[in-house]
Amino acid sequence: MEAKARPKEMAGAYYFLCRELDENEVNEIMTTIEKQLQGRHMASSAIEGFNASLRSYLYVRKGVNQGFLALFKAWYNLRHRRWEQNKGTFAYESLTDKKVSDCLSLIGVPPSKITH
């Protein structure tokens, strides 16, 4: 979509919401959208961070398959961040506002009953 067309499309979407919903529903949706926009970082920054982490694996492996990318994505999003403003959190926590104590359980791998 061309950048000049975005404001017109957004205005049309807002008009449609106002026509189809009552004022309270529109305000609730707009509040949710504003909250989401304020709490998110630019997508290009997130993608650049992911690509920078992946680059070293691509260099060593000379390419990756879809299975590796899925595993890498899980590792990247479920690892503890070690620096900057989000130190000590997981990306999943930032997206969902839910505290995570065991990341492996999130992807369907429950804790083992084996003790060492």
Please tell me whether residues 18 and 72 are part of one structural domain: no
Give one DSSP letter per residue of 37-55, joined into a string: HHH---HHHHHHHHHHHHH
Please tell me whether residues 102 and 60 are part of one structural domain: yes
Please tell me whether residues 74 and 23 are part of one structural domain: no
Number of domains making up the chain: 2
Closest CA to 39 of 82, 95, 91: 95
Please tell me whether residues 65 and 26 are part of one structural domain: no
Please tell me whether residues 58 and 94 are part of one structural domain: yes
Please tell me whether residues 48 and 84 are part of one structural domain: yes
Please tell me whether residues 101 and 48 are part of one structural domain: yes
Please tell me whether residues 47 and 98 are part of one structural domain: yes
* pLDDT of amino acid 42: 59
The pTM score is: 0.44
Please tell me whether residues 53 and 28 are part of one structural domain: no
pLDDT band at 105 (very low <50, low <70, confident <90, very high): confident
pLDDT tens by residue, 24-52: 888 888 888 777 777 655 567 777 877 88
Q: Which ranges of the chain does DSSP label H, i.e. alpha helix?
A: 6-20, 23-39, 43-61, 66-78, 91-96, 103-106
* pLDDT of amino acid 56: 82
Q: Give the span between the Cα atoms of 58 and 75, in whole angstroms.
A: 16
| Residue 114, domain member (yes or no) | no
Please tell me whether residues 102 and 47 are part of one structural domain: yes
Write out the residue range of the structural domain in which residue 23 sits. 3-39
Please tell me whether residues 95 and 51 are part of one structural domain: yes
